[in-house]
Amino acid sequence: MPIASPKHGGAQPLVQLGKAIREIRQSQSISQEELAHRSGIDRSYMSSVERGGQNIGVMHLVRIAEALEVSVAALATAAGL
């Protein structure tokens, strides 16, 4: 299990982003495990991202957006960022 970001884990923008990722993933009927696989990210890390526990890096965010077939801007907009 990945350790949550000690400084930013649970910060509102991360929680909002994680929620947006989860909602888009679920609207496409993609499991968390499948999204992690498509993104090349460990499933437990993906779980932590969706809970807002990780201060996600730009390249991970890009890979998640590509796997969901949306833009990073669309993810940010869905998260209200």
pLDDT, one tens digit per residue, over 25-54 is 999 999 999 999 999 999 999 999 999 999
Q: How confident is the model at residue 4 (pLDDT cuts 50, 70, 90)?
A: low
What number of other Cβ atoms are within 10 A of residue 32's Cβ? 17
What CATH code would you report for 12-75?
Answer: 1.10.260.40
Q: Where are the domains of the chain?
A: 12-75
Cβ atoms of residues 17 and 79 within 8 Å: yes
By CB atoms closer than 10 A (0-12, 13-18, 19+), residue 17 is: buried
Cβ atoms of residues 17 and 55 within 8 Å: no
Q: Could you report how far apart the first and last alpha carbons of the chain are, in Å?
A: 27
